[in-house]
């Protein structure tokens, strides 16, 4: 794309590299920035910097957190004996928004996908196993209902069972092939209540 | 939306304030940033800063530019006697990408829209008029074919005509490649009225 400004061209390229942004949306954003008041841009930059500099992974559940232990793991009202295993932070937030689940989480950081070179060692599975040494009553596997998510669920069930811990899988009320973050809350609740033992 | 990190929450809010980004895309972007390598984020921040600090408006055509005069206005091969008037920089780039037009541009910065308080004084119309003192041969009005764009075109035609300069309007009609059955009635009427002899 031709352009009257190299700086603008670079910004469009940066935006177009972000997930879910095509060339057109990237252009719209860049032109917006180019015409926006300085304070507005400064506020965007400082929000990005704060995430860059201050975000950590919770040392227990591996979700994104402002402190070493996230506010769910450090919440005394959450049931530490119930662990819901999710692929990523967005899936966790999706379940948090339902508001029904009172246990804690474990964020795997993805799902097993040999095609793109993600095996069990690339995920926080060792870290999950190390949490099972406590008096855990149930591990709820809430990976996506995609091929990768199902593979991961089966794998996890197999390695958790020897610990004599109840392993459940959220029900397939979640439409096959869709991402948990995009599913409506009623369906998410249905899937949670209909979970079955593996 | 509940969240495990306030920094992340803020960044989602910042992204959701940008044009064309909903809550969901904003979340996806923020989580991407939270998981991205530092260099990647730094490169995004520096691209935004460069636009914030270095972008000016061309003193002739008012497009975004890295210097006082943009590289189209300063290009000796462009025909300075032909001015295409567009609403914004993106429309200008759209015509540049066609590659056929060899004249110069004038960026109004919007279209007349009394409903949202944009009158002629809010646009670069005085600046356009001041360019008409030279030996201009044609002003091509390429504002959008929306109500606002049409209003602006009519207004501009009225104030440019006393200068004895040819004023033209880009044609509106059925878009190439579209099915007539899917085209709206106003466009069909416009296409009928603007028919040309073969």
Q: What is the 3-state secondary structure (H, E, C) of B119-183?
A: CHHHCCHHHHHHHCCCCCCEEEECCCCCHHHHHHHHHHHHHHHHHCCEEEECCCCCCCCCCHHHC
pLDDT one-digit tens code per residue, B165-192? 999 988 888 888 878 788 888 888 878 8
What pLDDT is recorded for position A2? 54
Task: Report pLDDT digits (tens) over B16-65.
Answer: 999 989 888 999 999 999 999 999 999 999 999 999 999 999 999 999 99
Portion of chain B with pLDDT greater than 90, in percent: 66
* Within a domain: B1: no
| pLDDT band, very low/low/confident/very high, at A180 (cuts 50, 70, 90) | confident
pLDDT of residue A1: 45
Interface test with A, best of B12, B37, B44, B52 (most A CBs within 10 A): B52
- Check CB contact of B151 with chain A, cutoff 8 Å: no
pLDDT (0 to 100) of residue B2: 55
**Per mean pLDDT, which range of A90-94, B1-5, B115-119 is the poorest?**
B1-5
Any domain includes B192? no
* Average pLDDT estimate for A14-32: 91
Examine the domain organization and report whether B87 and B162 are in the same domain.
yes
Q: Do residue B160 and residue B98 come from a single domain?
A: yes
The alpha carbon torsion through A4, A9, A10, A11 (nearest 10 deg) reads 110
Q: Are residues A183 and A118 in the same domain?
A: yes
**Does residue B171 fall inside a structural domain?**
no
- Residue B16 in contact with partner chain A when CB distance is under 8 A: no
Distance between CA atoms of B29 and B70, rounded to whole angstroms?
32
Tell me if A52 and B64 make a contact (CB, 8 A cut-off). no
- Domain limits for position B94: 77-166
Best-predicted range by mean pLDDT (A125-129, A170-174, B18-22): A125-129
Given a cut of 60, whether residue B93 has pLDDT beyond it is: yes
| pLDDT, chain B, mean | 90
Task: Give me the long-range contacts of A121-129 (CB less than 8 A, separation at least 24).
Answer: A123/A152, A124/A62, A125/A156, A125/A159, A127/A62, A128/A83, A128/A85, A128/A156, A129/A159, A129/A160
The CB-based long-range contact list for A99-103 (8 Å cut-off, 24+ gap) reads A100/A189, A100/A192, A101/A192, A102/A77, A102/A78, A103/A78, A103/A79, A103/A138, A103/A140
Residue B187 lies in a domain: no
CATH code, domain with B148:
3.40.1360.10
Chain B, 29-88: which have a CB under 8 Å from a chain A CB?
29-35, 38, 41-45, 47-52, 54-55, 58, 63-66, 70-72, 88
Judged against a pLDDT cut of 90, whether residue B151 lies above it is answered with: yes
Structural tokens at position A106: 């474990």
Whether residue A174 is found in the same domain as residue A150: yes
Domain count, chain B: 2
pLDDT tens digits, one per residue of A4-13 = 788 999 999 9
On whether both A79 and A145 belong to a single domain, the answer is yes
To test the contact with chain B by mutation, choose from A8, A32, A43 the residue with the greatest count of B C-beta atoms within 10 A, namely A8
B48 shares a domain with B94: no
* Shortest distance, CA B31 to any CA of chain A (angstroms): 8
Is there a domain that residue A59 lies in?
A: no
Does a structural domain hold residue A161?
Answer: yes
What is the predicted pLDDT for the residue at A173? 67
A120, part of any domain = yes
Q: Is the separation of the CB atoms in B125 and B103 below 8 Å?
A: no
| pLDDT, greater one: A97 or A197 | A97
Q: Are residues A105 and A18 in the same domain?
A: no
- Residue B103's pLDDT band, with cuts at 50, 70 and 90, is very high
- Measured in angstroms, the CA of A162 and the nearest CA of chain B are apart by 32
- Taking 80 as the threshold, does the pLDDT of residue A157 lie above it? yes
Q: Domain with B44 in it: what CATH number?
A: 1.10.8.420
Cβ <8 Å between A48 and B6: no
Q: Which residues contact B27 (CB under 8 A, 6 or more apart)?
A: A90, A93, A181, B1, B12
Task: Encode pLDDT of B57-73 as tens digits.
Answer: 999 999 999 999 999 99
Residues B10 and B47 in one domain: yes
Please report the pLDDT score of residue B140 as a whole number: 92
Tell me, yes or no, whether A42 and A71 share the same domain: no
Domain identity same for B88 and B157: yes
Chain A CB contacts of B10 under 8 Å are 47, 50
pLDDT at res. B173: 83
Same domain for B44 and B92?
Answer: no
Same domain, B81 and B48: no
pTM for this model (two decimals):
0.75
Chain B residues in contact with A88 by the CB 8 A cut-off are: 31
């Amino acid at each position: 794309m031709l352009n009257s400004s190299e700086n603008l061209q670079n910004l469009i390229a940066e935006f177009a590299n972000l997930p879910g942004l095509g060339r057109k949306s990237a252009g719209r954003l860049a032109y917006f920035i180019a015409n926006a008041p300085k304070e507005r841009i400064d506020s965007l930059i400082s929000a990005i910097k704060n995430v860059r500099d201050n975000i950590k992974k919770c040392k227990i559940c591996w979700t994104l957190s402002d402190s070493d232990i996230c506010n769910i793991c450090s919440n005394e009202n959450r049931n530490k004996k119930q662990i819901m295993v999710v692929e990523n932070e967005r899936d966790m937030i999706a379940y948090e928004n339902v508001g029904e689940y009172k246990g804690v989480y474990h964020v795997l950081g993805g799902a097993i996908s040999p095609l793109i070179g993600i095996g069990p060692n690339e995920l926080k599975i060792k870290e999950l196993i190390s949490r099972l040494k406590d008096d855990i009553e149930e591990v709820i596997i809430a990976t996506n209902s995609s091929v990768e998510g199902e593979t991961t669920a089966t794998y996890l069930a197999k390695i958790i069972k020897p610990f004599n811990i109840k392993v459940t899988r959220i029900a397939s009320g979640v439409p096959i092939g869709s991402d948990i973050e995009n599913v409506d809350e009623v369906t998410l609740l249905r899937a949670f209540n209909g979970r079955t033992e593996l």
